[in-house]
Chain A
Amino acid sequence: MRQVAILGIGQTVIDEHWDKSLRDLTVEAALAALQDAGRETAGGVFVGNMMSGIINDQNNLGPLVADWTGLRGGDAVKIDAACGSGAAALRSGLMAVASGELDSALVIGVEKMTDRPMREVTAALATAADADYEVEMGVSFVGLNALIMRRYMYEYGWQHEDFAPFAINAHANALHNPYARLHQKITVEDFEKSVMVATPINLLDASPIGDGAAALYLVPADSLRGGTRILVAASAAATDTIGGHDRPDMLFLTAAYKSCREAYRQAGVGPEDIDVFELHDAFTIMSALSLEACGFAERGRGVRLGLDGEIGPTGRIPITTRGGLKARGHPVGATGVYQVVEVVQQLRGECGPTQVPDARVGMAQNIGGSGATIITHILKRE
Protein backbone atom coordinates (compact mmCIF):
# COMPACT_ATOMS: atom_id res chain seq x y z
CA MET A 1 0.00 0.00 0.00
CA ARG A 2 1.19 3.52 -0.77
CA GLN A 3 1.37 6.36 1.73
CA VAL A 4 -1.28 8.98 0.92
CA ALA A 5 -1.09 12.75 1.45
CA ILE A 6 -3.81 15.38 1.63
CA LEU A 7 -2.82 18.01 -0.91
CA GLY A 8 -5.90 20.23 -0.89
CA ILE A 9 -8.82 21.20 1.35
CA GLY A 10 -12.02 23.14 0.80
CA GLN A 11 -15.17 23.96 2.77
CA THR A 12 -18.25 26.12 2.69
CA VAL A 13 -19.68 28.13 5.54
CA ILE A 14 -22.22 25.98 7.41
CA ASP A 15 -25.56 27.78 7.57
CA GLU A 16 -29.17 27.72 6.50
CA HIS A 17 -28.28 28.36 2.87
CA TRP A 18 -31.69 29.25 1.43
CA ASP A 19 -30.01 30.49 -1.76
CA LYS A 20 -27.80 27.47 -2.37
CA SER A 21 -28.68 23.94 -3.47
CA LEU A 22 -26.92 20.68 -2.68
CA ARG A 23 -25.04 20.94 -5.95
CA ASP A 24 -24.07 24.60 -5.37
CA LEU A 25 -22.52 23.73 -2.00
CA THR A 26 -20.75 20.71 -3.44
CA VAL A 27 -19.23 22.69 -6.28
CA GLU A 28 -18.06 25.45 -3.95
CA ALA A 29 -16.19 23.02 -1.66
CA ALA A 30 -14.85 20.86 -4.48
CA LEU A 31 -13.46 23.78 -6.47
CA ALA A 32 -11.85 25.19 -3.34
CA ALA A 33 -10.08 21.86 -2.72
CA LEU A 34 -8.97 21.56 -6.35
CA GLN A 35 -7.64 25.11 -6.27
CA ASP A 36 -5.88 24.52 -2.95
CA ALA A 37 -4.27 21.39 -4.43
CA GLY A 38 -3.39 23.19 -7.67
CA ARG A 39 -5.08 20.46 -9.72
CA GLU A 40 -7.82 20.47 -12.35
CA THR A 41 -8.74 16.81 -12.55
CA ALA A 42 -9.15 13.87 -10.19
CA GLY A 43 -8.94 10.13 -10.73
CA GLY A 44 -12.14 9.49 -8.81
CA VAL A 45 -14.84 11.24 -6.81
CA PHE A 46 -16.11 9.91 -3.47
CA VAL A 47 -19.16 11.65 -2.04
CA GLY A 48 -20.13 11.25 1.62
CA ASN A 49 -23.80 11.97 2.20
CA MET A 50 -26.54 10.60 4.43
CA MET A 51 -29.95 11.88 3.43
CA SER A 52 -30.08 13.30 -0.09
CA GLY A 53 -32.54 10.57 -1.08
CA ILE A 54 -34.92 11.46 1.75
CA ILE A 55 -34.53 15.22 2.00
CA ASN A 56 -33.46 16.34 -1.48
CA ASP A 57 -35.19 13.69 -3.65
CA GLN A 58 -31.78 13.08 -5.19
CA ASN A 59 -29.67 9.96 -5.17
CA ASN A 60 -26.86 8.92 -7.49
CA LEU A 61 -24.72 11.77 -6.17
CA GLY A 62 -21.53 10.31 -7.69
CA PRO A 63 -22.20 11.36 -11.27
CA LEU A 64 -24.10 14.49 -10.19
CA VAL A 65 -21.12 15.79 -8.26
CA ALA A 66 -18.57 14.71 -10.87
CA ASP A 67 -20.59 16.33 -13.64
CA TRP A 68 -21.19 19.63 -11.82
CA THR A 69 -17.58 19.98 -10.70
CA GLY A 70 -16.19 19.51 -14.19
CA LEU A 71 -14.93 15.98 -13.52
CA ARG A 72 -17.47 14.22 -15.74
CA GLY A 73 -16.65 10.77 -17.03
CA GLY A 74 -14.55 9.20 -14.30
CA ASP A 75 -15.27 6.94 -11.36
CA ALA A 76 -17.70 8.59 -8.93
CA VAL A 77 -19.81 7.13 -6.15
CA LYS A 78 -21.79 8.09 -3.03
CA ILE A 79 -20.93 6.48 0.30
CA ASP A 80 -23.41 6.22 3.18
CA ALA A 81 -22.64 5.54 6.81
CA ALA A 82 -25.25 7.92 8.30
CA CYS A 83 -23.47 10.74 10.22
CA GLY A 84 -20.22 8.84 9.58
CA SER A 85 -20.56 9.16 5.79
CA GLY A 86 -17.84 11.80 5.47
CA ALA A 87 -15.10 9.69 7.03
CA ALA A 88 -16.38 6.63 5.17
CA ALA A 89 -15.99 8.53 1.88
CA LEU A 90 -12.47 9.57 2.85
CA ARG A 91 -11.61 6.00 3.73
CA SER A 92 -12.87 4.80 0.35
CA GLY A 93 -10.88 7.43 -1.53
CA LEU A 94 -7.87 6.66 0.59
CA MET A 95 -8.01 2.93 -0.14
CA ALA A 96 -8.33 3.67 -3.85
CA VAL A 97 -5.21 5.86 -3.89
CA ALA A 98 -3.21 3.76 -1.41
CA SER A 99 -3.84 0.59 -3.41
CA GLY A 100 -2.65 2.16 -6.65
CA GLU A 101 -6.08 1.83 -8.27
CA LEU A 102 -6.30 5.62 -8.61
CA ASP A 103 -3.57 8.27 -8.73
CA SER A 104 -5.73 10.94 -7.11
CA ALA A 105 -9.12 11.24 -5.47
CA LEU A 106 -11.49 14.05 -4.61
CA VAL A 107 -13.45 13.33 -1.43
CA ILE A 108 -16.50 15.48 -0.75
CA GLY A 109 -18.92 15.45 2.15
CA VAL A 110 -22.18 17.30 1.58
CA GLU A 111 -25.53 17.67 3.29
CA LYS A 112 -28.36 20.03 2.40
CA MET A 113 -30.79 19.73 5.30
CA THR A 114 -32.79 22.90 5.77
CA ASP A 115 -35.14 22.74 2.78
CA ARG A 116 -37.55 20.63 4.86
CA PRO A 117 -39.38 21.32 8.14
CA MET A 118 -37.52 20.26 11.28
CA ARG A 119 -39.91 17.37 12.07
CA GLU A 120 -39.03 15.79 8.71
CA VAL A 121 -35.31 16.32 9.28
CA THR A 122 -35.72 14.80 12.75
CA ALA A 123 -37.37 11.75 11.17
CA ALA A 124 -34.64 11.53 8.51
CA LEU A 125 -31.90 11.65 11.17
CA ALA A 126 -33.60 8.78 12.99
CA THR A 127 -33.02 6.53 9.96
CA ALA A 128 -29.49 6.07 11.32
CA ALA A 129 -31.06 3.90 14.03
CA ASP A 130 -33.02 0.63 13.94
CA ALA A 131 -36.21 1.45 12.02
CA ASP A 132 -38.34 -1.38 13.41
CA TYR A 133 -37.21 -1.52 17.02
CA GLU A 134 -36.11 2.01 17.89
CA VAL A 135 -37.63 4.54 15.50
CA GLU A 136 -41.10 2.98 15.43
CA MET A 137 -41.23 3.40 19.22
CA GLY A 138 -41.12 7.18 18.74
CA VAL A 139 -37.57 7.71 19.87
CA SER A 140 -35.70 10.48 18.04
CA PHE A 141 -31.96 10.39 17.39
CA VAL A 142 -31.54 12.89 20.21
CA GLY A 143 -33.64 10.58 22.38
CA LEU A 144 -31.29 7.65 21.79
CA ASN A 145 -28.37 9.72 23.01
CA ALA A 146 -30.48 10.98 25.91
CA LEU A 147 -31.05 7.39 27.07
CA ILE A 148 -27.29 6.87 27.12
CA MET A 149 -26.63 10.19 28.88
CA ARG A 150 -29.24 9.56 31.61
CA ARG A 151 -27.75 6.16 32.42
CA TYR A 152 -24.21 7.57 32.37
CA MET A 153 -25.19 10.29 34.86
CA TYR A 154 -26.88 7.66 37.04
CA GLU A 155 -23.93 5.25 37.00
CA TYR A 156 -21.17 7.80 37.53
CA GLY A 157 -22.96 10.49 39.51
CA TRP A 158 -22.45 13.47 37.19
CA GLN A 159 -24.86 16.40 37.07
CA HIS A 160 -26.08 17.97 33.83
CA GLU A 161 -23.99 21.12 34.30
CA ASP A 162 -20.82 19.01 34.50
CA PHE A 163 -21.12 18.54 30.73
CA ALA A 164 -21.15 22.32 30.10
CA PRO A 165 -17.39 22.67 29.37
CA PHE A 166 -17.74 20.61 26.18
CA ALA A 167 -20.30 23.04 24.76
CA ILE A 168 -18.58 26.16 26.12
CA ASN A 169 -15.20 25.16 24.63
CA ALA A 170 -16.76 24.37 21.24
CA HIS A 171 -18.59 27.72 21.10
CA ALA A 172 -15.49 29.65 22.21
CA ASN A 173 -13.38 28.02 19.49
CA ALA A 174 -16.00 28.54 16.77
CA LEU A 175 -15.79 32.31 17.31
CA HIS A 176 -12.50 32.14 15.37
CA ASN A 177 -13.70 29.84 12.58
CA PRO A 178 -15.27 31.84 9.73
CA TYR A 179 -16.90 28.65 8.37
CA ALA A 180 -18.73 27.82 11.62
CA ARG A 181 -22.51 27.77 11.91
CA LEU A 182 -22.63 29.51 15.30
CA HIS A 183 -20.61 32.48 16.48
CA GLN A 184 -21.96 32.91 19.97
CA LYS A 185 -20.15 32.66 23.28
CA ILE A 186 -22.07 30.69 25.92
CA THR A 187 -21.86 30.33 29.71
CA VAL A 188 -22.77 27.62 32.22
CA GLU A 189 -25.96 29.58 32.95
CA ASP A 190 -26.92 29.56 29.24
CA PHE A 191 -26.18 25.84 29.13
CA GLU A 192 -28.38 25.08 32.13
CA LYS A 193 -31.42 27.10 31.05
CA SER A 194 -31.51 26.09 27.40
CA VAL A 195 -34.66 24.60 25.81
CA MET A 196 -35.21 20.88 26.47
CA VAL A 197 -35.13 18.56 23.45
CA ALA A 198 -35.16 15.09 25.05
CA THR A 199 -34.37 14.97 28.79
CA PRO A 200 -31.60 15.35 29.92
CA ILE A 201 -30.37 16.69 26.54
CA ASN A 202 -31.18 20.33 25.88
CA LEU A 203 -30.45 22.53 22.90
CA LEU A 204 -26.93 23.38 24.11
CA ASP A 205 -25.97 19.72 24.56
CA ALA A 206 -26.89 19.09 20.94
CA SER A 207 -25.14 20.02 17.72
CA PRO A 208 -27.11 22.13 15.23
CA ILE A 209 -27.88 20.78 11.79
CA GLY A 210 -26.99 22.91 8.80
CA ASP A 211 -26.17 22.97 5.10
CA GLY A 212 -22.55 22.56 4.12
CA ALA A 213 -19.92 20.79 2.07
CA ALA A 214 -16.24 20.08 2.62
CA ALA A 215 -13.64 18.47 0.37
CA LEU A 216 -10.21 16.85 0.40
CA TYR A 217 -7.80 16.15 -2.45
CA LEU A 218 -5.74 12.97 -2.03
CA VAL A 219 -2.53 12.01 -3.84
CA PRO A 220 0.25 9.45 -3.28
CA ALA A 221 2.73 10.99 -0.84
CA ASP A 222 5.73 10.04 -2.99
CA SER A 223 4.38 12.23 -5.82
CA LEU A 224 5.12 15.28 -3.65
CA ARG A 225 8.69 16.50 -3.37
CA GLY A 226 9.98 19.09 -0.93
CA GLY A 227 8.01 21.23 1.46
CA THR A 228 5.62 20.23 4.20
CA ARG A 229 3.40 17.24 3.58
CA ILE A 230 0.21 16.22 5.47
CA LEU A 231 0.20 12.44 5.53
CA VAL A 232 -2.71 10.15 6.33
CA ALA A 233 -0.92 8.00 8.90
CA ALA A 234 -3.92 5.83 9.81
CA SER A 235 -7.47 5.00 8.77
CA ALA A 236 -9.54 2.46 10.66
CA ALA A 237 -13.24 1.68 10.80
CA ALA A 238 -15.23 -0.46 13.21
CA THR A 239 -18.91 -1.21 13.69
CA ASP A 240 -21.24 -2.13 16.54
CA THR A 241 -24.92 -3.15 16.74
CA ILE A 242 -27.23 -0.73 14.96
CA GLY A 243 -29.67 -0.72 17.87
CA GLY A 244 -28.30 0.80 21.06
CA HIS A 245 -30.30 -1.66 23.19
CA ASP A 246 -28.49 -4.60 21.56
CA ARG A 247 -25.14 -3.65 23.11
CA PRO A 248 -23.97 -5.52 26.18
CA ASP A 249 -22.47 -2.25 27.44
CA MET A 250 -24.19 0.93 26.25
CA LEU A 251 -21.87 3.25 28.14
CA PHE A 252 -18.74 2.29 26.24
CA LEU A 253 -18.16 3.04 22.55
CA THR A 254 -16.73 -0.33 21.61
CA ALA A 255 -16.38 0.61 17.96
CA ALA A 256 -14.48 3.79 18.91
CA TYR A 257 -12.16 1.70 21.04
CA LYS A 258 -11.55 -0.78 18.22
CA SER A 259 -11.07 1.80 15.48
CA CYS A 260 -8.77 4.09 17.47
CA ARG A 261 -6.62 1.19 18.76
CA GLU A 262 -6.15 0.07 15.16
CA ALA A 263 -5.43 3.67 14.10
CA TYR A 264 -2.84 4.09 16.88
CA ARG A 265 -1.20 0.85 15.74
CA GLN A 266 -1.06 1.93 12.09
CA ALA A 267 0.37 5.35 12.94
CA GLY A 268 2.72 4.02 15.60
CA VAL A 269 1.39 6.45 18.22
CA GLY A 270 -0.62 6.42 21.43
CA PRO A 271 -3.12 8.83 22.97
CA GLU A 272 -0.23 10.77 24.56
CA ASP A 273 1.08 11.64 21.07
CA ILE A 274 -2.15 13.19 19.78
CA ASP A 275 -1.78 16.99 19.62
CA VAL A 276 -5.35 17.71 18.49
CA PHE A 277 -8.47 15.55 18.45
CA GLU A 278 -11.52 16.48 16.39
CA LEU A 279 -14.08 14.18 17.98
CA HIS A 280 -17.74 13.60 17.17
CA ASP A 281 -19.48 15.83 19.72
CA ALA A 282 -22.98 15.45 18.28
CA PHE A 283 -24.05 15.61 21.94
CA THR A 284 -21.99 16.47 25.02
CA ILE A 285 -22.30 12.87 26.24
CA MET A 286 -20.57 11.68 23.06
CA SER A 287 -17.52 13.84 23.84
CA ALA A 288 -17.15 12.11 27.20
CA LEU A 289 -17.64 8.62 25.75
CA SER A 290 -15.21 9.27 22.86
CA LEU A 291 -12.47 10.55 25.19
CA GLU A 292 -12.91 7.44 27.35
CA ALA A 293 -12.94 4.94 24.48
CA CYS A 294 -9.88 6.52 22.86
CA GLY A 295 -7.72 6.30 25.97
CA PHE A 296 -7.76 9.91 27.21
CA ALA A 297 -9.78 9.19 30.36
CA GLU A 298 -10.87 6.28 32.51
CA ARG A 299 -14.43 5.04 32.14
CA GLY A 300 -16.89 7.49 33.67
CA ARG A 301 -14.19 10.18 33.91
CA GLY A 302 -14.35 11.82 30.46
CA VAL A 303 -16.38 14.68 31.90
CA ARG A 304 -13.50 15.46 34.26
CA LEU A 305 -11.25 16.55 31.36
CA GLY A 306 -13.66 19.35 30.55
CA LEU A 307 -14.07 20.42 34.17
CA ASP A 308 -10.30 20.47 34.64
CA GLY A 309 -9.75 22.71 31.60
CA GLU A 310 -7.82 20.07 29.64
CA ILE A 311 -9.78 20.32 26.35
CA GLY A 312 -8.94 23.86 25.20
CA PRO A 313 -6.38 24.61 22.46
CA THR A 314 -3.55 24.73 25.02
CA GLY A 315 -4.89 21.93 27.23
CA ARG A 316 -3.66 18.37 27.55
CA ILE A 317 -5.99 17.12 24.81
CA PRO A 318 -7.41 19.93 22.64
CA ILE A 319 -10.78 18.96 21.11
CA THR A 320 -13.27 20.67 18.80
CA THR A 321 -10.71 23.36 18.08
CA ARG A 322 -12.73 24.85 15.20
CA GLY A 323 -16.05 24.54 17.01
CA GLY A 324 -16.78 20.86 16.67
CA LEU A 325 -20.18 19.55 15.69
CA LYS A 326 -21.62 21.67 18.49
CA ALA A 327 -20.74 25.09 17.06
CA ARG A 328 -19.06 24.59 13.68
CA GLY A 329 -22.28 22.67 12.95
CA HIS A 330 -23.32 19.18 11.93
CA PRO A 331 -24.29 18.84 8.26
CA VAL A 332 -24.41 15.12 8.93
CA GLY A 333 -22.87 13.46 5.86
CA ALA A 334 -20.33 16.28 5.49
CA THR A 335 -19.17 16.36 9.10
CA GLY A 336 -16.47 13.70 8.82
CA VAL A 337 -14.81 15.64 6.00
CA TYR A 338 -15.02 18.94 7.91
CA GLN A 339 -13.24 17.28 10.83
CA VAL A 340 -10.33 16.19 8.64
CA VAL A 341 -10.17 19.57 6.88
CA GLU A 342 -9.83 21.14 10.34
CA VAL A 343 -7.08 18.75 11.42
CA VAL A 344 -5.22 19.68 8.22
CA GLN A 345 -5.64 23.36 9.14
CA GLN A 346 -4.19 22.66 12.58
CA LEU A 347 -1.20 20.79 11.13
CA ARG A 348 -0.63 23.59 8.63
CA GLY A 349 -0.76 26.15 11.47
CA GLU A 350 -3.71 28.07 10.01
CA CYS A 351 -5.96 28.28 13.07
CA GLY A 352 -5.15 31.69 14.52
CA PRO A 353 -6.30 32.10 18.15
CA THR A 354 -7.32 28.42 18.44
CA GLN A 355 -4.09 27.08 16.94
CA VAL A 356 -2.63 24.21 18.95
CA PRO A 357 1.07 25.12 19.38
CA ASP A 358 3.29 23.11 17.02
CA ALA A 359 0.60 20.55 16.18
CA ARG A 360 2.20 17.61 14.36
CA VAL A 361 -0.15 14.68 14.95
CA GLY A 362 -3.93 15.10 14.69
CA MET A 363 -6.83 12.70 14.99
CA ALA A 364 -10.38 12.88 13.65
CA GLN A 365 -13.14 10.50 14.66
CA ASN A 366 -16.52 10.37 12.94
CA ILE A 367 -19.51 8.42 14.25
CA GLY A 368 -22.52 7.08 12.33
CA GLY A 369 -25.62 6.31 14.40
CA SER A 370 -25.40 6.18 18.19
CA GLY A 371 -22.03 4.39 17.94
CA ALA A 372 -22.77 1.86 15.18
CA THR A 373 -20.10 3.05 12.72
CA ILE A 374 -16.95 4.69 14.02
CA ILE A 375 -14.07 5.74 11.78
CA THR A 376 -10.78 7.16 13.01
CA HIS A 377 -8.14 8.95 10.94
CA ILE A 378 -4.73 10.11 12.13
CA LEU A 379 -2.78 12.73 10.16
CA LYS A 380 0.86 13.68 10.54
CA ARG A 381 2.80 16.69 9.34
CA GLU A 382 6.29 16.08 8.07
Chain B
Amino acid sequence: MEIPRHWRLKQQRYGLVGEVCPHCQVKVFPPRDVCPNCGGEARTPYTFSGRGEVYSYTTIYEAPAGFEDKAPYTVALVKLEEGPLVTAQLTDLGDKPVEIGMPVEMVTRRLRQDGDDRSILIYGYKFRPVMN
Protein backbone atom coordinates (compact mmCIF):
# COMPACT_ATOMS: atom_id res chain seq x y z
CA MET B 1 0.00 0.00 0.00
CA GLU B 2 1.21 3.44 -0.90
CA ILE B 3 -1.30 5.83 0.72
CA PRO B 4 0.86 9.01 0.60
CA ARG B 5 1.66 8.50 -3.06
CA HIS B 6 -2.02 8.51 -4.02
CA TRP B 7 -2.92 11.24 -1.49
CA ARG B 8 -0.33 13.59 -3.03
CA LEU B 9 -2.03 13.27 -6.42
CA LYS B 10 -5.58 13.98 -5.22
CA GLN B 11 -5.87 17.32 -7.05
CA GLN B 12 -4.85 15.73 -10.33
CA ARG B 13 -6.87 12.54 -9.88
CA TYR B 14 -10.13 14.22 -8.75
CA GLY B 15 -9.86 17.65 -10.33
CA LEU B 16 -7.54 17.49 -13.36
CA VAL B 17 -5.48 20.29 -11.84
CA GLY B 18 -2.45 21.06 -13.98
CA GLU B 19 -0.58 24.26 -14.64
CA VAL B 20 -0.53 27.18 -17.01
CA CYS B 21 2.85 28.58 -17.99
CA PRO B 22 3.06 32.31 -17.17
CA HIS B 23 5.66 32.79 -19.93
CA CYS B 24 4.12 31.07 -22.97
CA GLN B 25 0.53 30.41 -21.73
CA VAL B 26 0.74 26.71 -22.58
CA LYS B 27 -1.51 24.53 -20.42
CA VAL B 28 0.32 21.61 -18.82
CA PHE B 29 -1.01 18.31 -17.48
CA PRO B 30 0.27 16.68 -15.36
CA PRO B 31 1.87 19.61 -13.52
CA ARG B 32 5.66 19.57 -13.71
CA ASP B 33 6.91 23.03 -12.69
CA VAL B 34 9.25 23.30 -15.68
CA CYS B 35 7.27 24.19 -18.80
CA PRO B 36 7.78 21.49 -21.47
CA ASN B 37 7.16 24.09 -24.16
CA CYS B 38 9.47 27.00 -23.25
CA GLY B 39 11.54 25.64 -20.35
CA GLY B 40 10.42 28.43 -18.03
CA GLU B 41 9.20 27.99 -14.49
CA ALA B 42 5.49 27.11 -14.45
CA ARG B 43 3.84 26.90 -11.05
CA THR B 44 0.45 28.52 -11.64
CA PRO B 45 -2.32 25.97 -11.04
CA TYR B 46 -4.88 25.53 -13.78
CA THR B 47 -8.02 23.41 -13.60
CA PHE B 48 -8.86 21.74 -16.88
CA SER B 49 -12.45 21.65 -18.10
CA GLY B 50 -12.41 17.85 -18.42
CA ARG B 51 -13.73 18.01 -21.98
CA GLY B 52 -11.87 16.53 -24.90
CA GLU B 53 -11.94 13.92 -27.64
CA VAL B 54 -10.54 10.44 -28.19
CA TYR B 55 -7.14 10.63 -29.92
CA SER B 56 -6.51 6.87 -29.76
CA TYR B 57 -7.82 3.89 -27.80
CA THR B 58 -7.16 0.25 -26.98
CA THR B 59 -9.18 -2.49 -25.36
CA ILE B 60 -6.98 -4.36 -22.91
CA TYR B 61 -7.50 -8.12 -22.64
CA GLU B 62 -4.31 -9.08 -20.83
CA ALA B 63 -4.26 -6.77 -17.82
CA PRO B 64 -1.51 -6.02 -15.32
CA ALA B 65 -1.80 -7.18 -11.69
CA GLY B 66 -4.42 -5.04 -9.93
CA PHE B 67 -6.64 -4.70 -13.00
CA GLU B 68 -7.27 -8.33 -14.06
CA ASP B 69 -10.81 -8.43 -12.72
CA LYS B 70 -11.76 -5.44 -14.92
CA ALA B 71 -10.54 -6.89 -18.25
CA PRO B 72 -11.49 -6.32 -20.96
CA TYR B 73 -11.56 -2.55 -20.48
CA THR B 74 -10.78 0.38 -22.75
CA VAL B 75 -7.97 2.87 -22.27
CA ALA B 76 -7.72 6.00 -24.40
CA LEU B 77 -5.48 8.90 -25.12
CA VAL B 78 -7.79 11.86 -24.63
CA LYS B 79 -6.93 15.16 -26.28
CA LEU B 80 -8.15 17.78 -23.79
CA GLU B 81 -9.72 20.88 -25.35
CA GLU B 82 -6.96 22.97 -23.76
CA GLY B 83 -4.26 20.98 -25.57
CA PRO B 84 -2.62 18.20 -23.54
CA LEU B 85 -3.10 14.48 -24.10
CA VAL B 86 -3.96 12.32 -21.08
CA THR B 87 -4.01 8.55 -20.73
CA ALA B 88 -7.20 7.36 -19.06
CA GLN B 89 -9.84 4.66 -19.07
CA LEU B 90 -13.11 5.15 -20.90
CA THR B 91 -16.27 4.32 -18.95
CA ASP B 92 -20.07 4.29 -19.31
CA LEU B 93 -19.66 3.19 -22.92
CA GLY B 94 -22.76 1.01 -23.05
CA ASP B 95 -23.13 -0.31 -26.58
CA LYS B 96 -21.49 2.75 -28.07
CA PRO B 97 -18.53 1.83 -30.29
CA VAL B 98 -15.44 3.88 -29.51
CA GLU B 99 -14.10 6.00 -32.35
CA ILE B 100 -11.20 8.37 -32.79
CA GLY B 101 -12.59 11.92 -32.51
CA MET B 102 -15.45 10.93 -30.19
CA PRO B 103 -16.22 13.74 -27.68
CA VAL B 104 -15.68 12.70 -24.05
CA GLU B 105 -15.84 14.27 -20.59
CA MET B 106 -14.09 13.53 -17.32
CA VAL B 107 -15.80 11.68 -14.49
CA THR B 108 -14.49 10.33 -11.18
CA ARG B 109 -14.49 6.56 -10.85
CA ARG B 110 -12.75 3.81 -8.93
CA LEU B 111 -9.45 2.89 -10.61
CA ARG B 112 -8.52 -0.12 -8.52
CA GLN B 113 -8.03 -1.49 -5.03
CA ASP B 114 -4.47 -1.29 -3.81
CA GLY B 115 -3.88 -4.71 -2.25
CA ASP B 116 -6.32 -7.06 -0.48
CA ASP B 117 -9.90 -6.61 0.85
CA ARG B 118 -8.84 -4.34 3.68
CA SER B 119 -6.71 -1.99 1.59
CA ILE B 120 -7.48 1.40 0.08
CA LEU B 121 -9.67 2.05 -2.93
CA ILE B 122 -8.03 4.34 -5.46
CA TYR B 123 -10.30 6.77 -7.29
CA GLY B 124 -9.40 9.00 -10.20
CA TYR B 125 -10.40 10.36 -13.56
CA LYS B 126 -11.95 8.37 -16.36
CA PHE B 127 -13.73 9.72 -19.43
CA ARG B 128 -17.22 8.96 -20.72
CA PRO B 129 -18.94 9.81 -24.00
CA VAL B 130 -20.56 13.25 -23.91
CA MET B 131 -24.33 12.84 -23.56
CA ASN B 132 -26.33 14.68 -26.18
Interface positions of A (Cβ within 8 A of B): 118-120, 122-123, 126, 132-140, 142-144, 146-148, 150-151, 154, 195-201, 241, 243-246, 250
Given A133-B87, A150-B56, 7 extra CB contacts under 8 A: A122-B63, A132-B30, A139-B58, A148-B56, A198-B62, A245-B84, A245-B85
Please state if B30 and A136 are interface contacts (CB–CB under 8 Å): no
B residues 77-132 near A (Cβ < 8 Å) are 77, 84-89, 100, 111-112, 122, 124
Within the assembled complex, what's the spacing in Å between the Cα atoms of A126 and B66? 12
Name the residue among B36, B56, B84, B124 with the largest chain A CB count within 10 angstroms: B56
B111's nearest neighbour on chain A, judged by CB, is A136
Please state if B63 and A245 are interface contacts (CB–CB under 8 Å): no
Contact partner of A138 (CB less than 8 A), chosen from B57, B85, B86, B112, is B112
Please state if B60 and A198 are interface contacts (CB–CB under 8 Å): yes
Please state if B62 and A197 are interface contacts (CB–CB under 8 Å): yes
Name the residue among A138, A197, A200 with the largest chain B CB count within 10 angstroms: A138
Within the assembled complex, what's the spacing in Å between the Cα atoms of A155 and B92? 27
7 A/B residue pairs, CB under 8 Å, sorted by A? A138-B111, A151-B100, A154-B100, A198-B62, A199-B58, A244-B77, A245-B84
Enumerate chain A residues within 8 angstroms of B75, measured Cβ to Cβ. Answer: 137-139, 143, 147
Within the assembled complex, what's the spacing in Å between the Cα atoms of A120 and B100? 31
A123 CB to closest chain B CB, in angstroms?
4
Enumerate chain A residues within 8 angstroms of B112, measured Cβ to Cβ. Answer: 136, 138
Enumerate chain B residues within 8 angstroms of A143, measured Cβ to Cβ. Answer: 58, 60, 75
Please state if A245 and B64 are interface contacts (CB–CB under 8 Å): no
B97 CB to closest chain A CB, in angstroms?
12
A29 CB to closest chain B CB, in angstroms?
29
Please state if A151 and B62 are interface contacts (CB–CB under 8 Å): no
Enumerate chain B residues within 8 angstroms of A245, measured Cβ to Cβ. Answer: 77, 84-87
A120 and B65 in contact, given A138-B75, A147-B75, A245-B77 (Cβ under 8 angstroms): yes
Is B55 among interface residues, defined by CB-CB distance under 8 A? yes
A152's nearest neighbour on chain B, judged by CB, is B56
Please count the residue pairs between chain A and chain B whose beta carbons lie under 8 angstroms apart in the complex. 107
Within the assembled complex, what's the spacing in Å between the Cα atoms of A118 and B62? 9
Contact partner of A139 (CB less than 8 A), chosen from B9, B30, B60, B68, is B60
Enumerate chain A residues within 8 angstroms of B5, measured Cβ to Cβ. Answer: 132
Contact partner of B67 (CB less than 8 A), chosen from A138, A151, A197, A241, is A138
A198 and B122 in contact, given A120-B65, A138-B73 (Cβ under 8 angstroms): no
Enumerate chain B residues within 8 angstroms of A142, measured Cβ to Cβ. Answer: 60, 62
Within the assembled complex, what's the spacing in Å between the Cα atoms of A246 and B27? 12
Enumerate chain B residues within 8 angstroms of A123, measured Cβ to Cβ. Answer: 64-66
Is B70 among interface residues, defined by CB-CB distance under 8 A? yes
Please state if A151 and B86 are interface contacts (CB–CB under 8 Å): no
Within the assembled complex, what's the spacing in Å between the Cα atoms of A243 and B84? 12
B2 CB to closest chain A CB, in angstroms?
10
